[in-house]
Amino acid sequence: MYQKQFTVATHTRSTHEITEAVERAVADSGVETGLAHVFLHHTSASLMLCENVDPDVREDLERFFSRLVTDGDAVFRHRSEGDDDMSAHVRTVITHSDLTIPVTDGRLALGRYQGVYVWEHRYRGYSRQLTVTING
């Protein structure tokens, strides 16, 4: 078993690809066959496995979620850090805080057009902490 922590600086509400960082953790682990578990230590950002060729896919997801979970919705009482506070928490709960990806031949066994992303749900940037655990 191998574990590595790293941070990702986000700048605004958007996606930030972390595929290479997770791949480095897999390479550093020396594991040839197993599982890579990626965990995000936050409640207002999430992880996603998504199309990594056309950025329109991720931008369309953002537009869809903006309609689904509206910033400053009157139904939300929790607004300690602004209009995007509770909506960011809702987005995280209905998406993922962790991902598990197979490791084959010492690499992430991703599909041809798949990438691993941190999806920042807040409008201002943060330093997001992640832990990658490799079992094999």
pLDDT, one tens digit per residue, over 80-103 is 899 999 999 999 999 999 999 999
Single-letter code of the amino acid located at 1: M
Average pLDDT over residues 97-119: 98
Band of residue 18 on the pLDDT scale cut at 50, 70, 90 = very high
Cα gap 135→64, rounded to integer Å: 35
CA dist list (Å): 63 to 20, 47, 88: 26, 17, 14
| pTM check: above 0.85 | yes
CATH class given for the domain over 2-135? mainly beta
Domain boundaries, the chain: 2-135
pLDDT attached to residue 123? 95
- For the record, the structure tokens of 82 come out as 């602004």
Burial track 54-88 (b if 16+ CB lie within 10 A, e otherwise) = eeeebeebeeebeeebebeeeebeeeeeeebbbbb
Full DSSP string of 1-48: -EEEEEEEE--SSSEEE-HHHHHHHHHHHT-SEEEEEEEE--SSEEEE
Cα gap 59→7, rounded to integer Å: 23
